Amino acid sequence: MDSSAVRLSMVAKLAQQGIADPRVLQAMGRVERHRFVDTALVNQAYEDTSLPIGLGQTISKPGVVSRMLELLYQGHAGQLGRILEIGTGCGYQAAVLSYLCKEVYSIERLRGLHDKARENLRHFRLVNVHLLFGDGMLGYAKGAPYAGIIAAAGGDAVPQAWIDQLAVGGRLVAPVSAGATSPARQALVVIDKTSQGLRQTVMEAVHFVPLKSGVD
């Protein structure tokens, strides 16, 4: 499949939706999203929709991926350093991140998806992407501190391990549920770690799969 034309169209739509960071738009345009979905869904690969990737998980909408990446990179003039991604899924966001930062550590708790992501990413030969199988709620201390942390699953709160592994001057972007009254409702939360402490900003409503501990 020659996806160059539909990728350009997708990027144009993202810009119309308000994604303004040229680095994010360029990275979104470089990654062939159809390589990360099942053959039967290839024709929907460049629509702004989430799609099933197996094991009850989904590949996020391009609009949501680009929005979270733009938030992650806001205020940074150049390339970011080391990034931790919680929830590799099919590997799509890790591929986009690879063009935006020096190093990507991406952790996945489901063995089937970890293996699928490794297969999907083989085509791209991205030497700066490191795929890890493990409990994302624990982060990955060996790679810390991180300039940024981005999560593709939402829990009741941001795990302390992520905060601990975020560098001073770093930023974390994650969905967080609204709490016990309405656990299905989530909002994007941005946490900046400064020398004075943490600064949290609640953004728009989103819908992600639930954050879970352990491995399967």
Percent of the residues in the chain that have a pLDDT greater than 90, as a whole number:
89
Look up the domain containing 57 and give its range. 4-206
Is residue 136 within 8 A of residue 114, CB to CB? The reply is no
CB atoms < 10 A from the CB of 38, how many? 12
- Provide the token pair at 17: 């939706």
Q: Tell me which H or E stretch contains 73.
A: helix 62-73
Q: Which residue has the higher pLDDT, 207 or 26?
A: 26
Count of domains observed in the chain: 1
Q: Which residue has the higher pLDDT, 109 or 77?
A: 109
Residue 177 known to be catalytic:
no
CB atoms < 10 A from the CB of 163, how many? 15
Q: Does residue 55 lie in a domain region?
A: yes
CATH of the domain at 169: 3.40.50.150
Question: Which is catalytic among the residues 60, 98, 106, 177?
Answer: 60
Q: How confident is the model at residue 182 (pLDDT cuts 50, 70, 90)?
A: low
Q: Does residue 18 lie in a domain region?
A: yes
At residue 182, what are phi and psi to the nearest 5 degrees?
Answer: -150, 75
Mention every residue, 6+ apart, whose C-beta is less than 8 A from residue 142. none
Q: Does residue 122 lie in a domain region?
A: yes
Q: Which pTM was predicted?
A: 0.95
Task: Lowest mean pLDDT of 25-34, 126-135, 181-190, name the range.
Answer: 181-190
Q: Does residue 92 lie in a domain region?
A: yes
